[in-house]
Structure 1
Amino acid sequence: MTTTSLKIENSLHNKCKIWFKVDNFADILQTNWTKKKTIESQEFRILSDKWTISIKCLNDDIGLYLNLIQTYESCISVQYDMYIVDNDNQIYGKRSYNRTFEKIEGFGSKVFIKTKQLMDKKDRLLPDNKLTVVVDMTVHKNNNNIVFNSSLKFDHLFGIRELSDCRLVVGKNKSVFFVSKLILSARSDVFLKMFTTDCLEKTTNKVIIKDIDSIVFGKFLRYLYTGKCNDLNKWYPKLLIVADRYLVASLKTICLNQYYMKINGENAIKTLKLLQDFGADEDLMAKTHEFVAKNVASVLGKLITKDYDIRSQSVTQIGYKIENLIKNNDKK
């Protein structure tokens, strides 16, 4: 019989470390399974969301997944590490992930470790025939900055022509969207000014937008009505440009957070500059500075001269040093 245990450690609001232990794991691997064997942890909660960890065994593959099983949000971004803890309490096989969960789903690695690899090291990785897996995760609620009260969402009104008083003709294919001037004005100061001043759009009830793709703009409009972003992982770069143009701060923040969630040593400078250009808030800039400073070796390259002693600098000082270098390079 398989028995499991779950322990939550260092639970600080949106951050925690979850220890998932499975007894008799070597015995499980030695059983001939004709179908995939799934071992799932007990539920655990971070903020208002419920999660599980699952281990999936099939043939010579052992998969490891983090699963979102209940949420009231339209999307949740998570940074997490998954690894095995050995008999000396050391980390083995660590993998890092940045993932936006947009629905009830699981995400991880189909082949986290091979069965043979685990069994060859069973004295180290399966002490007392027990597997210990740790998930160290930080949850970012992208919708925290949305200003829509749930009572002011208009999901059921989106796209209903009979309740619309304006046409938007968008893109090269001239797609037509029937919209409410009241709703658009409530969400965007650009639309508010357009519909309340002596503009052509006010009198004709028609807005022509030639330089934005109609698919992107449709997703933007849906956000204005519902506060939700579908397929955010795919569309956030283009949605950021539209949100910035129409001064929709909540969507802009969501998109900028997506850039931050995908930051790494290779794109850190580019990401930092993008956050500057689009006016990211102080908290997001501070987190980006911290990432750059903590990963200074892979980020800096040739930007900083040899006489700059990073050892004497704080995390924030290094981040601002790089930010100033970017600005100086732009002026040349």
Structure 2
Amino acid sequence: MSDKNEQIGVFQEKYNTSIKRKQYDFTWRISQLSTWLANVEGVQCSPVFPSDSKEKIRWELRFYPKSYTVDQYCSLFLKMHSSMNPQKDVPVTSNLALMDSKGKIFFKLVVSAKFKANESRGYTQFFLLETLLQKIQPEDELSIKCTIEAQVEIVTKPEKVMKLPEIVSSSLSQDLETLVGDEQFGDVTMVVCGEKQLAHRNILAARSPVFAAMFSHPLKESVENCVVVEDVEPTVFKALLRYIYTDKVTCLDTKAQELYAAADKYGLPALKSLCRNNILEKLCPENAADTLKLADLHSDLEMKRYTLAFFSGSKAAQMTKTAGWKDMVRTHPHLVDEAFDALAARVP
């Protein structure tokens, strides 16, 4: 049993999920572009940026002076180098701008795409080469400015964890249990087979319709504040009271049948159900006849059906040899008929 002053610690945790973005700015300046174009072939690659090799994602511009599809155009591609999951898509928005030596932008383009590791995105016909050469004169210098915003990953982080004040657990059941047999505040005397015990009318009436009827009418029990019980053992009645006060069940292992009968008498269906299940869990050839008589006495169809089904199984021969069966033949012959009817119904 837990301490009535037991405290429960309550933790309140909050998490925040956000998209982690990174921005990369890079400018690639190419001097003497005309001379450069006359002496190079194929793709020309910028330095990989950012320069820190520890970065998980890095970028590279790939410039083709002559497009491999149309000679009159140059091509420009953006390549992602990544040490992350090669199958992971990285959403990217890139701003590409062409500038002359004075920093004047004469062409710009916004590209949105998803990149995988070592994948390139761009345009084969990015800009007309002849026009490009005209735009950068007379200095003959081209700058390619690239601004990239990449959704690097989705991050979930705990916010500040706050421990709420501890909540004292409810001790209602334990407090009510102290009232069982209480000599100070009891207002009705229960006389059980000669033994006296004080109880509380309001609690008994709230839990049992039988006690409620007893105390709400001018009966002897209500007038004299005394209830005489002759057909329930004192230990069983104490267990009944404890259940009424606390919803806890004791002595099921030793007094299940007696407690079942008391629960039925005082209109406690939940306790009756608990006792029934305990009885049926322990059903065996030696006690099956007594269980069948108990079910019949209290008009419990569920218990009767379950017990008859047990009898109609392979245990029938063992049951008919027990003292309980022989007593049932003498005192409850109609149950013998029901048992054999159930057995016959199962025979193909």
Q: Do they fold alike, i.e. is TM over 0.5?
A: no
Class of the TM-score when normalised by the shorter of the 2 chains: 0.3 to 0.5
Higher normalized helix content (fraction of residues): 1
The structure that has the greater radius of gyration is 2
Instruction: Work out which structure has the larger RCO, using CA pairs closer than 8 Å and 6 or more positions apart in sequence.
Output: 2
TM-score (norm 2): 0.39
TM-score (norm 1): 0.41
